[in-house]
Amino acid sequence: MKEHSAILILAFLLLAGCSTVTVESKLYPGVPVYAPIDLEGIEILRSEPDHPYQKFGEIYLQPKGNPSPREILKRFKKAAAKMGADAVILVADKYALTGGPVAGPDWWNPELSGRSDRIIIGVAIWFAEPQGKILGPRSPAK
């Protein structure tokens, strides 16, 4: 019995270790750059808030493997905190077929090869006044 428990724990640890989440964030042109804030104050919203807000950037997450929902939300909060956001509105959670050249033995019966990648998109927002300190204007992309 102890051997089965040890094998299950080891299998769980190996599966958990295979999960990764790639994070990319982009500020909209013309918005100021804010100092990072404490991630505990970041709200994760599943719809637009009822009170006024301003959109200022986007956060893209690409989970690989099977990360937990808690890990995904934590990554959104970390990215939003670095941007000085008050909240993130989750706007998309979709799968896209990437790297898919058409291949097959016959041109009349092709197969699409590739892999399906998941992407989750959130919009970073400020409520009435941003919490963070303005560091300066966003420098243009080079």
The model's pLDDT over 104-115, given as tens digits with 9 standing for 90+, comes to 555 555 555 555
Q: What is the mean pLDDT of residues 41-50?
A: 93
CA 27 to CA 129: how far, in whole Å? Answer: 17
Q: Where are the alpha helices (DSSP H) in the chain?
A: 2-17, 69-83
**pLDDT band, very low/low/confident/very high, at 61 (cuts 50, 70, 90):** very high
CA 25 to CA 33: how far, in whole Å? Answer: 13
CA 100 to CA 108: how far, in whole Å? Answer: 17
Query: pTM of the prediction?
Result: 0.67
Bridge partner residues of 45 (DSSP): 89
- Predicted confidence at residue 115, as pLDDT, reads 59
Cβ contacts of residue 107 below 8 Å, gap of 6+? none
